[in-house]
Structure 1
């Protein structure tokens, strides 16, 4: 793990996906927002009031919304970064939402429930067709025999959400909201983002704990990521967050601030729990 004064956070976003009504979402905001995040959060600043420097690692390409790809991606991710990343945050978009969520649990392939039925049809999870028109049953047997049906992060979503909302409230009262996503592509010399009207972006986005990521790709990547930590007997330092799908300037700025507030609050929890052990 990294030094006490240096936290590494790796953030992923998803790629294009079928919308379920015969259409296709070509730009997934969950990846787009990762290209707008800074590479570091310096300590003792309005956005990061802690004494801890936070390094943000993002990927050049989105995670493909394909069950087989996600399963292989998560295996490779946690093989490569078994010890050098302090926190993994996977992002997915939820179109129509104007808040961020931190998901409490993730469920294994084979899970079924009735609570998603009115929205997504199949009771069994991960039967929603992916970007290759396949379900999880088309990619071979489940590799997680002996792994619990439900997995969760070692971080408490309620504590992280409370901490993040407090950071945002302070930032929007006394700091500089919108500064979190000032440039495109994580490069200082790139084209600035389009400006949002100050009155539109004057309120911080709300961050809520949420029961689970759902029976589609978002819940799937969360479980696959946590399962890889579980079988390696590594700390389950994984969070999944849903973000709004809208990509206008106002939403990108508010969402970017919200994601970084989650990063800071979660990093504080990582340090607190590490110091307790």
Structure 2
């Protein structure tokens, strides 16, 4: 038998890695003639499947992009979004919607959405979502639902992770009263009805991105936001605190007098 050289044999690391976090992502299809390609889908459809763990971001991230853009139609959203979430395997820890804000030149992290106000701008089928339909679908839900992410914390992390400090990103309180606000409220409501204090949902508004360079930047922005959400979730969770919930409920009571915004600043016909 050959003698041992005495050299140490490398052993695999015994350090346990964190379980991956699964993020379900959607983007929209076209809805305006002058924007035949929706920038939200240009970003979503090119996201990487994995964001690996790093020393600064110890949680690996699995990104699942819904296989086709969401049709810009109210009833398509109500018919498909709950099924997309519930059929996703593995079950998503975070749902991340991306939408086009044609009237903006910057990126916005939206905090919440209104229940009503979707009866003024027709969708691609020429249809609206009436107040009667709202009452039938969400008879007891608050007029405003907000993400349970700590958005101030997410925004700070997002800002810090962007490779270019000149990229214009902003927080926003209201996703508007067209399809972006509608899909956001639908998803927030889906989680609220299961366990009201846990709503691991976010929405990113993106500007029109006409070139490949623009889309590449948009993808970097989206990946940085996904990292920021996962890092914030790791530290703070995605459950409303009691104090925050009371403040939100008080705001909802006031908002109930006028539930929806009069115009959608994200929409340009």
Q: Which range, TM-score by smaller chain?
A: 0.7 to 0.9
State how far apart, in whole Å, the 2-side matches of 1:5 and 1:83 are. 12
Q: Does 1:264 align with 2:227?
A: yes
Correspondences of 1:3-42 after superposition (within 5 Å)? 4-17=18-31, 19=32, 23=33, 25-42=35-52
Contact preservation (8 Å) 1:205, 1:255: no
State how far apart, in whole Å, the 1-side matches of 2:62 and 2:141 are. 31
Contact preservation (8 Å) 1:92, 1:243: yes
Q: Does 1:54 align with 2:17?
A: no
Q: Secondary structure at the match of 1:84?
A: coil
State the Cα deviation string for residues 117-139 of structure 1 (Å, max 9, x = none): xxxxxxx4442000100011299
Aligned residue-pair number = 222
State how far apart, in whole Å, the 1-side matches of 2:80 and 2:120 are. 19
User: What residue number does 1:222 align with?
Assistant: 184
Aligned-pair distance for 1:267? 0.4
Between structure 1 and structure 2, the one with the greater Rg is 2
User: What residue number does 1:150 align with?
Assistant: 144
> Which one of the candidate residues 82, 106, 126 is aligned to 1:75?
82
Contact preservation (8 Å) 2:113, 2:146: yes
User: What residue number does 1:247 align with?
Assistant: 210
State how far apart, in whole Å, the 2-side matches of 1:249 and 1:76 are. 32
Give the gaps of 5 or more residues in structure 1: 110-123, 173-202
User: What residue number does 1:90 align with?
Assistant: 97
State the Cα deviation string for residues 9-37 of structure 1 (Å, max 9, x = none): 111001111x3xxx463211101111111
> How well do the aligned residues superpose, as a CA RMSD in angstroms?
2.5
Moved more, 93-102 or 7-16: 93-102
User: What residue number does 2:127 align with?
Assistant: 134
User: What residue number does 2:154 align with?
Assistant: 160
User: What residue number does 1:43 align with?
Assistant: 53
Q: Does 1:105 align with 2:68?
A: no
Aligned-pair distance for 1:81? 4.4
Correspondences of 1:200-219 after superposition (within 5 Å)? 204-219=166-181
The structure whose RCO (Cα within 8 Å, separation 6+) is larger is 1
Q: Secondary structure at the match of 1:130?
A: coil
> Which one of the candidate residues 195, 210, 228 is aligned to 1:233?
195
Aligned-pair distance for 1:270? 1.3
Contact preservation (8 Å) 1:126, 1:220: no
